[in-house]
Structure 1
Amino acid sequence: MSRSIRRASPADIRALQGIEAAADELFAPLFGPQPFGPDSAADGAARAAEPGFVLVVAEAEDGPAIGFAHVLWPFGPGDAHLEQLAVLPAHLRRGHGRALVEAAVREASEHGARRMTLRTFAQVPWNGPFYAACGFAPIAPIPHPAHRAMVAVEERLGLAELGERVLMARDLGSPAL
């Protein structure tokens, strides 16, 4: 199988919302349709406008995006934050998510980040355990307004009521486990 990871193009940006909405449907059997529904996914253009970068994965060099990683710089120099990782359900279990994580780690490191953080469900198999296998470990909350804002958004969406949320981090100088 061929795989291509690239910076998101304008066409890719238009596809992000659909990719995220489809990936969010995987949560429905665990949590029901709310808060994950077709309207819960962020607009791709809004993602692209935030400080950071968006990488996409395709199964061919010029192929359509089948997944993406959105990385932000919310905590200042040295810290990157994996805001979203999503892969279309029809393309799961092929290593695309892990490949996106590793590409995002490389790119963030090339831009001077020494650590990458993310927030996720601790017990959902394709969340906390997946990220642990990618070298992330739970850490204490970061006393920073951007982290408090992330938690506030999660609370507004009702995510904390669905399961334990955890902040995880990976030292970008360390290889994945």
Structure 2
Amino acid sequence: MTTTIREARAEDAEVIQTIEAIADALLVEALGAPEWPPPADGTERVGSTGYVLLLQENSDSSPVGFVHVLDAVGTAHLEQLSVLPEHGRRGHGRRLVEAALDEARRRGYSRVTLRTYAEIPWNAPFYASCGFQESIPESGFHRQLVETETELGLDRHGRRLQMTILL
């Protein structure tokens, strides 16, 4: 299978939001968290600082996954990785992470951070297999993420942690 990864455009906003909503349903089920926050607005994702990369299984198909990386005060922060469940277990998530890291290097970042659940197999264990290691939220941006997660009640569903990879 030949996959294509490309930077998202404004017209991709709706499909990005749809992919996230469908992928989040899998997480909601695993966590038993029916009160999960809605997906981020796709237009806001595409328009935010940083970048969004889309994965298509071929150049003519609709996107089946995306990765969103924010510019967080000079640090790249992997904000969201979503792959449609019916296209899972094909290496798409790993391809998106690798593409995100390559793009971060190209843009001059020295590290990429993320926040995730410790015990969900496709969360922290997956990111660890990509080279990320548990780290401490040191910057104001990262401490604000922890506060926001607490306000949203995300920690009710399991231990949240920060992970970092040096480029």
* TM class by smaller structure: over 0.9
* Equivalence for 1:153: 148
- Alignment match of 2:159 (pick from 153, 164, 174): 164
Name the SS for the 2:72 alignment partner. coil
Note the C-alpha offset of 1:153: 1.8
Query: How many residue pairs get matched?
Result: 167
The one-letter code matched in structure 2 to 1:41 is P
* Equivalence for 1:175: none
Note the C-alpha offset of 1:88: 0.4
* 1:87 maps to 2:97: no
Unaligned runs of 5+ in 2: none
What is the correspondence of 1:1-177 to structure 2 with a 5 Å cutoff?
1-36=1-36, 40-76=38-74, 79-142=75-138, 144-172=139-167
CA contact (8 A) 1:27 1:36 kept: no
Question: After TM superposition, which residue ranges in structure 1, 4 or more long, deviate above 3 angstroms?
Answer: none
The one-letter code matched in structure 1 to 2:26 is L
Deviations 1:107-166 (A, max 9, x none): 010000010000000110000000000000001121x22112211221122111110001
Distance 1:97 1:27 in 2: 15
Deviations 1:15-73 (A, max 9, x none): 11110010111123322243336xx1001101112110000000111321110000011
Deviations 1:47-103 (A, max 9, x none): 112110000000111321110000011132xx2110000000110000000000000
Q: Report the TM-score, using the length of structure 2 for normalisation.
A: 0.95
Q: Report the TM-score, using the length of structure 1 for normalisation.
A: 0.90
Name the SS for the 1:104 alignment partner. helix
Note the C-alpha offset of 1:170: 0.6
Unaligned runs of 5+ in 1: 173-177
Name the SS for the 1:2 alignment partner. coil
Distance 1:35 1:131 in 2: 25
Name the SS for the 1:105 alignment partner. helix
Identity %: 48
